[in-house]
Each structure stands twice: as structure tokens, then as C-alpha cells.
Amino acid sequence: MSFVVNKKILILGITSICTSTLHAAAFDKTGQSVAAFLQPGNYFEASLGITDTDLSGVESGTNPSHHSISDIANTDYRPTAALKLQLAPQYSFGLLYDQPFGADTEYSGLNGFVATPKDTVMLPGITTAGFANATSGQAPTGNAKSEFDIQNLSFILGYQPTKNWNLYAGPVYQTFKSQVELRGNVFSLYNGYDFHTKTVGDLGWLAGLAYQIPEKAVKVSLTYRSAITHKLNATENAPLIEMLSTQQGRDLVNQHLDYMISIGQMTPQKKAYLNQIIANLPEQEDTGTTKFKSPDSVNLEFQTGLRQGTLLFGSLRWVNWSDLALQPYRFGEISKVVGVLSTPSRPEGFNLVRYYDDQWSLNLGVGQRFSPKWLGSVSVGWDSGAGDKVSTGGPTKGYYNLGVGAQYSPTSQYFISGGIKYFWLGDAKAQLGAQAGSDYYVGEFKDNHSVSYGLKIGYKF
């Protein structure tokens, strides 16, 4: 078997065993590789990545209690698939499916992220149970949860003017669905708040170019993916706000304020100020459109032959997380009213989800063929994360990882491959939307880790 043929088979193998499903960084899950589209000839692949994360911490900072927080991350299952067709010597078409962004967390146990009847409502001495009894409402129950599901279907048309160059672009159809439930004392008036959306779909685009020298196993690609904006008509529930808007709720607060004045913990002026804020809270029927914009990104992927049967590969990725902000309509209208009570004052309101730094990630690895049917790889990776203080959505700051993979190819036409990566997750502080980006935080997550497993099948035809 010639050196060139070995190289081509090795390239196919490395892109399979170093599966893109072994990826994890806050919302960023797959890395959005286009390597499958750049395979020679006609090609199909399907893969499944499973990530098991241990994400635990402790209450701290301004949180009045200091309970431990058990693992909040649910196991993540992430399928991908790709079909590439060489329509003509100079034209190719690709269809890529993945779930590039997402989150699935839930708190449990005894901590400020789990609702109890003794949770404080607005003022010390008023509990959710007491408030519900006075207003014939229902006190919040359950755990804080955050689930975001984003799926992509990319349609790519490529033009190869020469054997070395490939120019490609196409539309991207993206769906978005989310369920967020805020529970527990740390969320104050938002305790019991729900944000539920149905699946919506919107269009974006991608464009890129690739250069290759097949006889030297050299391939470099640069791909840009646009941001995609979704308009959502979400279902939002804020039970404590609804109870506070009733006459019984206002009477209870007034009585408690009078009591605080009598013991010297409140002034009549402050009482009048608080009553004015309560009067300005939006009505339950006040609804509107929520906008969410998934981030744009740039991927640089590369590989080169080192010697016969050995390949160096890697990728560099940038994701524009610093522009990500989710402010549901009713959530935002409430926050503009109660935000004046926060420190510092936030009359413009605050966000349910917010990141403040762009994400950079780098992966490098070496692949080695051991026999005509077997090859393996080892890789290392680093990710900057999107800041060390984040709001709802998963408290980690980047990671380091180490991965190994192997592939078995019964023939040169098809293969099955698997890999595993271990992630050392960066420490982070959990913040609430009202104070995200400041020194205010309610929990710390340290010394956490994640393990990802990937399985892929591929077929050349």
C-alpha cells in the first residue's frame, strides 16, 4: 500500500476517532466541525456523544447560608450526522446535523436553589408559605432547573476550482427550545418563576474556504457561522409577583412594613418608596416577544502529515459569547421595576442568562496507524470559557482535557470508531441575573470534572 493511500485512510480515521461530539464548554457542546464535508468523494457518518459531568459546589458570597450543592449536571446525549455528496468534479453538497449549544442542569437537596415554605419574600419575616396563605396563592415548590435545546441543520454547497481549493457556503436552519424554572430563596421575588418556550426555527448562514495538499496530507479550513436570532412567545409565570399584586398581598406587606417601622427597622419614607415600586409591577396579562440570539463563531481546523502513518491535527475556535443575553419579556419588565432595589441600582433591568467573555478553545493531537485496520490518536485541549462569573446556565470557566481514540476499519470503505475525553473543569462563581458581572455571587463551584464518550460510524461510497 502506497504512502499516499495510507495518508488518505489515516485522514479519514483521525477525523472519525477524534469525534467532535467530545466537546464541552458551558453552552458550547459540539465544536461545529465541517471536517465531514471536506472528506473526498461521497461520505456519510453518524455519531453519538455522551457526557457525564460532576458539577458540585457550595453556597457562598452573599448567600446567607453555606450549604453544599450536590451535582447539578444531568447526563448529556448528543447525536450528530453528516452527508457529503460529490455532485461533479468541481461541485459538492453537504448536509450536517448537530446540537451545537445546550444546557441541562437541576439543583437538589437543601440549599438556596430549592424552594421551601420558609423562603423569604421581599422582606425579612415574610415567607412564601405565609404569603400564599394570606393571598390564597400557592407557595413555590421544587428545584431550580435550566434546560436549553438548540439544534442545527446546515446545507453546504462547495466549489472546488482546483484540487487544492474548496470554497463553500450555505444556509443554516436552527431550532431553539427552553425551559427555565427558578426556585429557592436566592431568587427572591423570582422564586417560582417559569420560562417555557415551544420550539421555534430561524435561519442563519455559514461560509468558509479550505486548502489541501493531498499527497502531503495537508488540509486547512476556515469557517464562519453567523449569529441566529429567535423571536419567542414564551409562557412566563411569576407567582410571587402575582400574589404581591393582589390587595391581600399589598395589605400583608403594609402591615409588615408598619411593624418594621415600630421597631425602628424601617422609615415611613422607605415604606412609601417600596409601595410605589410594588404598584408599578407589571400586570400578569402583560406579555410580549422575547428575543434570543445564538452566537456567531469562527473555526480554524488543520492537519498535516509528519511521517508515514503519522498525522498532526488540531483546531482553534472562537465563539462570541460576550454578546449572549437572554432577557424574557415579562422577566425583564419586572426586573426594570425591582432592579432599582439592587446594589448597584439596575433601572434598566437584568438578564436571565448572561455571559461576559468570548470563548477561545484550542485542540492538538497526533494520530498513528498501527495496522491496515487499526489506528489510534491522543489529543489535548484547552478552553477559556466565557468568564468566571456566570448566571443561569452552568457555572464553569473553561477546561483542560485529555483524549484518546481508536478506529477499526474492516475495509477502506467503512469504519467504526470510539473515543474518550477527560475534562478538568475551571472553577466558577454562580451569579444571579441582577448582579451578574459584578462581585456579587451566591455559590462557588470548584474542582469539578467531566467525562465524554463518543462512538461514530462512517461510510465512503
Domain range for 439 is: 35-460
**pLDDT per position as a tens digit, 360-396:** 999 999 999 999 999 999 999 999 987 655 555 556 7
Count CA within 13 A, CB hemisphere, residue 387: 22
Nearest to 171 by CA among 209, 204, 207, 208: 204
In the structure grid, which three cell numbers stand for residue 446, read together?
Answer: 470548584
21 lies in some domain: no
Mean confidence (pLDDT) of the chain = 88
Q: Let me know if residue 28 belongs to a domain.
A: no
Rounded to whole angstroms, how far apart are CA atoms 199 and 369?
A: 44
Answer yes or no: is 3 within a domain: no
CATH number at residue 437: 2.40.160.60
> Is the per-residue pLDDT at 3 higher than 70?
no
**Looking at the domain assignment, is residue 285 inside a domain?**
yes
User: Is residue 19 situated within a structural domain?
Assistant: no
267 lies in a domain?
A: yes
**pLDDT tens string 319-348:** 999 888 899 999 999 988 887 776 667 777
C-alpha span between 63 and 188 (Å, rounded): 11
Does residue 23 lie in a domain region? no
Amino acid at 36: A
- Spatial separation of the C-alpha atoms in residues 120 and 277, rounded to whole Å: 18
In-domain check, residue 352? yes
Q: Which grid coordinates are listed for 141?
A: 415548590
Indicate the number of domains in the chain: 1
Q: Which residues pair with 91 in a beta bridge?
A: 88, 159
The 10s digit of each residue's pLDDT in 41-99 is: 999 999 999 999 999 999 887 777 889 999 999 999 999 999 999 999 999 999 999 99
Q: Are 158 and 96 in contact (CB under 8 A)?
A: no
d(CA 207, CA 325): 25
Q: What's the pLDDT band for 286 if we cut at 50, 70, 90?
A: low
| pLDDT tens profile 5-38 | 343 434 344 344 444 445 544 578 899 999 999 9
pTM score over 0.85: yes
Across the chain, how many H-helices and E-strands are there? 6, 27
The grid cell for 276 is 410605589
Q: What gap in Å lies between CA 393 and CA 429, rounded to an integer? A: 12
